[in-house]
Each structure stands twice: as structure tokens, then as C-alpha cells.
Structure 1
């Protein structure tokens, strides 16, 4: 079984209006899509992971006419939003690809800073490539990685943002998690060019997410 990692970037900066509305809300950030499914009636159910203020998210949701119903649940340093929404042509086209080409999107799916999404597709390599060629107009596709699928490691690490994974890898490489510990936050901060306090905050989030994934 093979996998492809790719970046899908919509020309207009968003795939569905709900994402545009979130982008416009002050202090709110789309982190990842935990699950998304196209229903028989053409509507979509989805679970988003967001960061920011719950009240702002709920206020923004009130102004999305495509939103049929939603629920918001704060969980530690993140907010999980379930949404049932009306689809559009672009989103429907994307969600039909797995059924047409017998491929499986590996959730969660990361949001990129430009409104695009970073996703992993699992299946037959030829089918994956055909599916990527069939991505709806208005979305550019950049294939980044191809290899044999290792679900445990990939799924666990996909819970981290690119920045969290980068800092964690540097911390491990420098010996932060060795016994005895070889470096401090200050040492790591020099490598990643952020404040030591920011390094500590990032590593605490990494530890929280990975431990919750393993033990939660």
C-alpha cells in the first residue's frame, strides 16, 4: 500500500465559504480537518480543529448561510467544531474522488497558511495519481512525498503542526529528552530562532498532543 502527501491550494484561498468565514474571524485559525464525509443528500458533515476564542467561533458561525447545524467543544488548547453544511461544487468534487478512484484520505488533514490543505492519500499509486489529476478546477496540486504507508507513525505525527514537529525533531536531535538532559530551552531557542519561553510552550503542546493520542 502506497501513500502520497500533497498540498492542494485553492486559487481563491478557500475551498468552502465556511473556511473563508473562519479566516476572517479575528484571532481564529483553522488548524486541521479531523473528519469529513459527503452524505447521500449532497450535504457534508465535518469536524474541524480550530484555535482561538470559542465565542468568536460561534459568532462567526452565525453568518455562514451554508451551515445547517454545528456544535463547538473546547478541549484543552484547541476547539473541536462539528458542522453539517451545504456543499459547493469544489468541495463535492474533492469528496467524490475517494469513491471514484478507490483511495482513502488519511485524516487529520492540515491547513496550510495560504488556505490550502496538506493531506495524505493512501491506496494504489496509479489510482492516487489519477485522482490528483482529477482534482477540480480552481485548485492547484503539488505532490510532495511518495512512499510505503506506515499508519501508526504517520497518523501520530500528523497531530502536530509543521512548526511543532520541527521544534520537536530539533529538541530530540540535540538531546533534550536524553537522560540526563543535554540541552535547555535556551539552546534549542538559538537553533529555531524563537524565545526560550516559546520553545517551552511548543514542546508542552507536542507532549500533550502525543500523550493524549497514545493514552487518551
Structure 2
């Protein structure tokens, strides 16, 4: 199976109001866990929301396209089941993948700055047509194409380019071998920086990966409505 990870950027002119809301808080995000198009064309979506619940819901009530919603508590977030009728570029964005064989690998992660990240499994020969159907001015960046190996794909991990470079170098030089055969100094040499800098890149990247894994490994939503 072929795996594709894609990053999209939605400028303010085509950004969903609740996606724009994420710009107001540090580390706020939403994770789209599953969705279904109902017979009447309503889109039913289940989100995990990392943002202040009351503030988020107050804003949600002001969005005209939202017909109704329910919530359930989580450990450090909450779950939102929303029913919505989209239109315009956001509807065309979803439709770009309707006639393909792609399956998404959840979560689809929304972050500040209009950023959206998710993985897809499907035939690479359909990728160009699907991405060409994404409406302007939504930005598209293919981050990875390769074989799908199963397990958790942390689409929402927000690493810098140097952090990614450091952990990739760490794998090459044996820093992540058990037992370890490479050192921080080896990573530093591979990415041409000081050992202290390489160590900082590795620690920050590892912390982000651990946080994202644990966030995604929380219990499933409880059947309580708000």
C-alpha cells in the first residue's frame, strides 16, 4: 500500500471560521477523527478539540453552517460531534477526493495559521488529479510518499525542518539503535552544527513526538452529551 502525507494551507479568505479560531491560542488544535456524508448532504464530523471548551463552543454557535452539535468530555480536551452544510472552496476541497480510491489515515489535524495535515492510502497515479482539483488559493505540499507500514501516523506533529533533519540523521548514525551505536556528536557532524545544538533539536523533536503519541492514545470519547 502506498502512503502519502500532504500538508495544506488555507488562507483567511477560504478558511473555516473554527479553523481561524485556532490562531487565538497557543497550541490549540482540532483533530478530525471520522466523518460521514449523510443522505441529505449534511456532513457529520467527530473532532477532538484541544482548546478552551466554553470559548470554542461560544464561537461555534455563531457559525451559520453548523446545524447542531453535541460534546463529550475528554482528559485534556473534549470531543465534538457536529453536523454542518459546507459550501464554496471548503466543499470543493472535500469533493476533490470523492472520486478517488484514497482512504484517509486519521487524525486529520487542523492547526493555527490555516494549516491542515493528513495521510492518505491509495494509488499514486490518482494523486495528481486529486490535488489539481483542490481549489485556489489553498496551498498544497506533499511531505512524504512511501509504503504504508501500519501503526500510528502522527500527522499533526509540528517539527521544524532542522528537528526533522536531526532525527533522520540520528537514525542514520545509530543514535536510536538499541544498544545505541551513535552519539549526539555524530548527529551534530551529520547536520553540520554544534553538539549542543544537535542535542536541543533532538530533545525538542522527541518531546513533540511523545506528546503527540500520548495525545492520540487517550481513551475514546464517553457517551455524555453537553
Report the TM-score when normalising by structure 1.
0.71
Number of residues of Structure 1 aligned to a counterpart in Structure 2: 199
Q: Is the 8 A contact 1:54 1:72 kept in 2?
A: no
RMSD, aligned CA: 3.8
Q: Tell me what 1:95 maps to.
A: 94
Gaps of 5+ in 2: 180-195, 220-226
* Structure 1 residue 192 corresponds to structure 2 residue 200: yes
Instruction: Give 4+ residue runs of structure 1 displaced > 6 Å after superposition.
Output: 172-175, 198-204
- Is 2:6 the counterpart of 1:10? no
Residue 104 in structure 1 maps to residue 100 in structure 2: no
CA deviations on 1:180-201 (whole Å, 9 max, x unpaired) are xxxxxxxx999337xx9x9998
User: Using a 3 Å threshold, how does the CA distance of structure 1 residues 13 and 145 change in structure 2: closer, same or farther?
Assistant: farther
More strand by share: 1
Match of 2:157? 161
Q: Deviations over 1:68-89 (max 9, x none)?
A: 1111222112222111112122
- Other structure's SS at 2:131 match: helix
SS in 2 for 1:141: strand
How far 1:205 moved relative to its partner? 4.1
| Alignment correspondent of 1:70 | 69
Contact 1:4 1:145 in 2 (8 A): yes
SS at match of 1:161: coil
Q: Secondary structure at the match of 2:40?
A: coil
| Structure-2 change in CA distance of 1:160 and 1:120 (3 Å) | closer
User: SS at 1:162's partner residue?
Assistant: coil
Determine the C-alpha separation between the residues in 1 that align with 2:206 and 2:6. 30
Q: CA deviation at 1:53?
A: 2.0
Task: Provide the C-alpha distance between the structure 2 equivalents of 1:142 and 1:159, rounded to a whole number of angstroms.
Answer: 13
129 and 95 in structure 1: CA distance in 2 versus 1, 3 angstrom threshold: same
In structure 2, the residue matched to 1:50 is: 49
CA deviations over 1:50-70 (Å, ceiling 9, x no partner): 212222222222211211111
3-state SS in 2 of match to 1:91: helix
Gaps of 5+ in 1: 179-187
Counterparts of residues 81-160 of structure 1 (less than 5 Å): 81-150=80-149, 152-153=150-151, 156-158=152-154
Superposition TM-score, scaled by structure 2 size: 0.68
Quickly say closer, same or farther: Cα 1:28–1:160, change in 2 above 3 A.
closer
